[in-house]
């Protein structure tokens, strides 16, 4: 039996996309939506247990506090620790690592995602969606060496012989390398087909996501300026996008308003499928529905994990990080939904 893998991510989409590569090879995967749900997830018997701390955009003090909650839950448990970080190195990475991992621990750090065109070169992350190379060690806060990583094979080769002596710090590419090592003979399960009614909530304003929305062409889109959309259309495929309002408001306010809009849309539509682009959008709705546990089933597309709610109302959840995917990502997803 492979050792259990514990994944700690600072947002929900990160927890899901790093965990999905294990599920795609046949591992049983459970994701806790918050640190408060983590202890229950650890008792699930899953091979891989991930937790979303929801700390990427908050204060450093909050990030440290929640990382310490996770560290206490993991204290004394056997297994591997994977600290999932944003591949463009956003968030409080150094502070969270300090709360989770002793200063002298052996780290393997690599945020590359070769499958999505993001690589490490000369100690920096570069490639798709990265305007200027970002030095990895500066954001980690520790003296780490990051080998050049032009492809997935080179990332796979960076894993040490004895996994148990290393803490892994990276994104979906490093998670894939670890999954290959631990589950060398994949036994993927068939994914359930996403269906209608469906609610697509786009909270990200990343240019990558904007290009994907533009590719949808004539698919009806309901805009939510500053998160609010008072007139929701009555359609079986509801696409909601948060946009800039006429007045500038705090990002947290807009996010809270969008979460309320999504919740109202859910209550009206009772969707079988929820697609959320942007971790905060998904996390806010799941909190409203009192869903704290997700079973990850695999990926609908590269970087687009599929999960089923393990508690609360039945719901198939599909997520995507704002900065991931080719321009036709949403086009393919809508075809899945419409064609059944």
pLDDT of residue 172: 92
Q: What is the DSSP string of 301-315?
A: ETTEEEEEESSSS--
- Residue pair 78/3 in contact (Cβ under 8 Å)? The answer is yes
Kindly state the tokens that stand for 294. 């997700």
pLDDT of residue 318: 92
pLDDT of residue 230: 86
- Superfamily of domain 198-339 in CATH is Four-carbon acid sugar kinase, nucleotide binding domain (3.40.980.20)
pLDDT of residue 340: 62
pLDDT of residue 137: 95
Q: What is the pTM of this model?
A: 0.91
Q: What is the pLDDT of residues 162-211, one digit of tens each?
A: 999 999 999 999 999 999 999 999 887 888 888 899 999 998 888 888 89
Kindly state the tokens that stand for 331. 């086009």
pLDDT along the chain (340 residues), means of 10: 95 93 96 97 97 93 97 96 96 96 93 93 93 94 92 97 96 96 89 90 87 86 91 91 86 84 91 85 83 94 90 86 84 82
Residue 335, SS3 per DSSP = helix
DSSP character for 37? G
Task: Give the fold, CATH level 3, of 5-182.
Answer: Rossmann fold (3.40.50)
Give me the residue spans of the domains in the chain.
Answer: 5-182, 198-339
Q: Between vectors from CA 159 to CA 31 and to CA 25, what angle results, nearest 5°?
A: 45
- Residue pair 140/167 in contact (Cβ under 8 Å)? The answer is no
Kindly state the tokens that stand for 68. 């310490």
- Mention every residue, 6+ apart, whose C-beta is less than 8 A from residue 134: 88, 89, 124, 125, 126
């Amino acid at each position: 039996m492979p050792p259990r893998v514990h994944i700690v991510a600072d947002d929900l989409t990160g927890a899901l996309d790093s965990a999905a590569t294990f599920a795609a090879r046949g591992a049983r995967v459970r994701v806790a939506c918050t640190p408060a749900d983590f202890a229950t997830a650890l008792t699930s018997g899953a091979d891989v247990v991930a937790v979303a701390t929801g700390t990427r955009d908050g204060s450093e003090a909050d990030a440290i506090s929640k990382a310490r909650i996770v560290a206490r839950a993991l204290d004394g448990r056997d297994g591997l620790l994977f600290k999932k970080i944003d591949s463009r190195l956003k968030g409080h990475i150094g502070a969270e690592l300090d709360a989770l991992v002793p200063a002298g621990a052996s780290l393997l750090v690599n945020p590359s995602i070769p499958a999505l065109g993001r690589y490490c070169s000369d100690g920096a992350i570069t490639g798709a969606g990265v305007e200027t190379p970002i030095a990895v060690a500066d954001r980690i806060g520790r003296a780490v060496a990051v080998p050049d990583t032009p492809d997935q094979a080179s990332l796979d080769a960076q894993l040490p012989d004895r996994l148990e002596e290393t803490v892994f710090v990276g994104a979906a590419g490093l998670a894939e390398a670890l999954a290959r090592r631990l589950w060398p003979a994949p036994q993927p399960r068939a994914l359930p087909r996403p269906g209608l009614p469906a609610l697509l909530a786009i909270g990200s304003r990343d240019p990558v996501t904007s290009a994907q929305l533009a590719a949808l062409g004539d698919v009806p889109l309901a805009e939510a300026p500053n998160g609010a959309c008072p007139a929701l259309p009555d359609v079986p495929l509801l696409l909601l996008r948060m946009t800039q309002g006429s007045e500038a408001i705090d990002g947290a306010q807009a996010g809270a308003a969008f979460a309320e809009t999504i919740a109202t849309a859910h209550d009206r539509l009772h969707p079988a499928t929820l697609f959320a682009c942007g971790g905060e959008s998904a996390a806010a709705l799941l909190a409203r529905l009192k869903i704290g546990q997700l079973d990850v089933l695999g990926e609908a597309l590269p970087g687009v994990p599929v999960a089923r709610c393990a508690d609360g109302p039945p719901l198939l959840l599909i997520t995507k990080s704002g900065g991931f995917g080719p321009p036709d990502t949403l086009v393919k997803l809508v075809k899945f939904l419409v064609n059944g």
